[in-house]
Structure 1
Amino acid sequence: MSHGDEGSSSKGTEKPFTALIVDDNSLMCKMHESILKSSIGITTQIAHNGKEAVDIFCSGDYFDIVFMNLEMPIMNGIEATKELRAMGVVCKIVGVTSCENTDEKEAFKQAGLDILHEKPLTLAKVNSILEQPQN
C-alpha cells in the first residue's frame, strides 16, 4: 500500500487521510472500506486481526484513524488497542462491535478507544466519528 507517496500528488505535499480497518469478517471489511473510500475518499488498508494491525504499525505505517473490531482470532480488539496505545499510537481508534456483553464493551473502551460504535458502520456514523475531536 502506498499511502506515503507525497511526491506523486499534483496538489503538492498534502497527504491523504488514511484509515486502517481491522476486522476478520471480509464482508464487514468490504462494507466499511466502501463507505470510507467511495463515499468519503479516505485511503484505506485492511488488517484481518489485531496482530496484523500491530504489525502494520510496527513496520512504520501510520494512519489517521483505526476502525478496530472487538472479536477476532489471534489478537482481539482489546489486546490490539492496548498494544497500540502502549506503542505510543495516538491516532483515533474507533471500536466497532456487534457484541452485546456490556462488561466486554466496557473493557474495550478502557483499552484505549476514543469511541465505540455498533456494527455495521454507516456513512452517518462515520461522518459523526470524523467530526468529533480526538480525546
Structure 2
Amino acid sequence: MAGAASSVDRKMIRVLLVEDEEIHRVVARAVLKAAGRGVELEEAKNGAEAVRRVREGGAGAYDLVITDGQMPVMDGHEATRQIRALGVTAPIVGLSSDSLAPDVDAFIKAGADDFAPKPLSKEKLDRILAKFGLS
C-alpha cells in the first residue's frame, strides 16, 4: 500500500468528455476509471451540449475537457472556440481518428491545448494528465 497515502492527498478531477459515438465513450470511461485517481466524469454527445454544460457550470466547472472533432450539431473545433470564449482556461484536448497535421492544427487553432489520436488509452491519458499537472 505504498501509494495509498499519496492518492488520498490528490483532489478529484472533473472531466468533460465530448463524444458522439457510444463505443468511444465506453472506452474513455474505462480508461478514466482506471486512471488510478478520482475522476468525476460528465459526458456530452455533441459540441452544443458541451458548450451548454460549461455555460451552466461556469468557467471553472471542469479541470479537463476532452473533445472529439467530428460530431453532429456542433463539431469539436467550434465547441472549443465557444468554450474558450466563455473564459475556460482548463486544458482542452482534441481526440480524433483524423490525426493528420491539418486535423491537429485545426484543433490547436480553435484553442485546444493538445491533441491525441483515437482511441484514448491509459498511456495517452497518463501523458495528458501529467502534461497539465492533473496526475
Q: TM-score range by the shorter chain?
A: 0.7 to 0.9
Does the 8 A contact of 1:82 with 1:112 survive in 2? yes
Which residue number in structure 1 is paired with residue 65 of structure 2?
Answer: 66
Contact 2:16 2:66 in 1 (8 A): yes
Q: Confirm whether residue 122 of structure 1 aligns to residue 101 of structure 2.
A: no
Q: Does the Cα contact within 8 Å between 2:17 and 2:44 map onto a contact in 1?
A: yes
In structure 2, give the amino acid aligned to 1:113. A
The answer to whether the 8 Å contact 2:18/2:66 transfers is yes
Task: Tell me how large the CA RMSD over aligned residues is.
Answer: 1.8
Gaps spanning 5+ residues in structure 2: where?
1-7
Task: Indicate conservation of the 8 Å contact 2:35/2:126, yes or no.
Answer: no
1:15, CA displacement in angstroms?
5.5
Taking only the aligned residue pairs, the percentage that are identical comes to 34
Relative to the length of structure 2, the TM-score reads 0.83
Gaps of at least 5 residues in structure 1 are: 1-10
SS of the residue 2:35 aligns to: helix
Equivalent residue letter for 2:128: I
Q: Who is 1:89 aligned against?
A: 88
SS in 2 for 1:39: coil
| Other-structure match for 2:3 | none
Given the two structures, how large is their TM-score scaled by the length of structure 1?
Answer: 0.83
Alignment correspondent of 1:104: 103
Cα distance between partner residues in 2 of 1:133 and 1:42 = 15
Where relative contact order (Cα < 8 A, 6+ residues apart) is larger, the structure is 2
1:2-81 paired onto structure 2 within 5 Å: 16-40=12-36, 41-60=38-57, 62-81=61-80
CA distance in 1, matches of 2:108, 2:127: 18
